[in-house]
Amino acid sequence: MDTKPYLIALDLDGTLLKDDKTISAFNKDMIKKAKAAGHIVCIATGRPFRSSSIYYEELELTTPIVNFNGAYVHHPKDHSWGTYHTTLDLDVVKEIITVAEEHKLHNVLAEIIDDVYFHYHDEKLIDVFSMGHPDIKIGDLRKNLGEDVTSILIHAADEDVEKIRTYLSDVHAEVVDHRRWAAPWHVIEIIRAGMNKAIGLEKIASYYKIPTERIIAFGDEDNDLEMLKYAGHGVAMGNAIDKLKAVANKETLTNEEDGIAHYLQKVLSL
């Protein structure tokens, strides 16, 4: 067995989590064995901390975590580790909201770590975002936001999503990065330019002094691209988008078939 520790980075949705948002017994068992063998396991997700902490606790992790695709990185068990929070400038946010309103948008949400601000009242979305019991404020974001934000989500009609993204690329490319959520959501997620999971993972890797060739990262969507390129083992799930499979140097089974467990069992001889 390889005695040198690996750093294992897990994306949540579509990767570690089954479609019903649970962790399978086999995945949990292999992650436990990997930790017992001295490997370091962390989560790297687009989710906020409040809706990923249940999985962090379930896996009994004691490592830093990457949230908001790298815009927020901290150590839940060790506050001296440092907090890296990279925000969007409030003036830019207000400008984006004003333009987004010209397109028939359904809603705009702003998140500041674990506080959520809704531009309009929205039962369905409030339900989706209430996991982890954030403080929720509702009303014009231009009035309600008093500080720079971690991320903005624009929920628009399918046909308007690309128009808004084109505007973001044309006008704000220097300051924001945006991604489209996977179906069924017509949501554009906006964070500070240059932020991605690889940046967060790099901070964790340097803390544990793990070289890139001993990093194993699993993912399935376009927000995993940079992380899989960065890791020595960039592992695309069987259910991953083609674009990700193209940059990955490894592939495993789908999230429904315990892809993570099978890969770790084989590569780490667990």
The token duo for 81 is 């580790």
Question: What is each CA distance from 178 to 65, 70, 101, 151, 166, in whole angstroms?
Answer: 21, 13, 17, 10, 10
- Burial pattern 5-31, b for ≥16 Cβ within 10 A else e, equals bbbbbbbbbbbbbeeeeebbeebbebb
Instruction: Give the helix, strand, coil percentages of the chain, each rounded to 5.
Output: 40, 25, 35
Beta bridge partners of 88: 149
Cβ atoms of 27 and 10 closer than 8 Å: no
Query: In the chain, where do the E strands start and end?
Result: 7-10, 40-43, 65-67, 72-74, 84-85, 105-112, 115-118, 135-138, 151-156, 176-180, 187-192, 215-219, 233-236, 250-251
Residues 5, 39 contacting (CB under 8 angstroms) = yes
Decide if 127 is catalytic.
Answer: no
List the catalytic residue out of 2, 11, 78, 170: 11
CA 14/CA 239 separation, integer angstroms:
8
Strand order in the sheet with 72-74: 65-67, 72-74, 84-85
Active site residues: 11
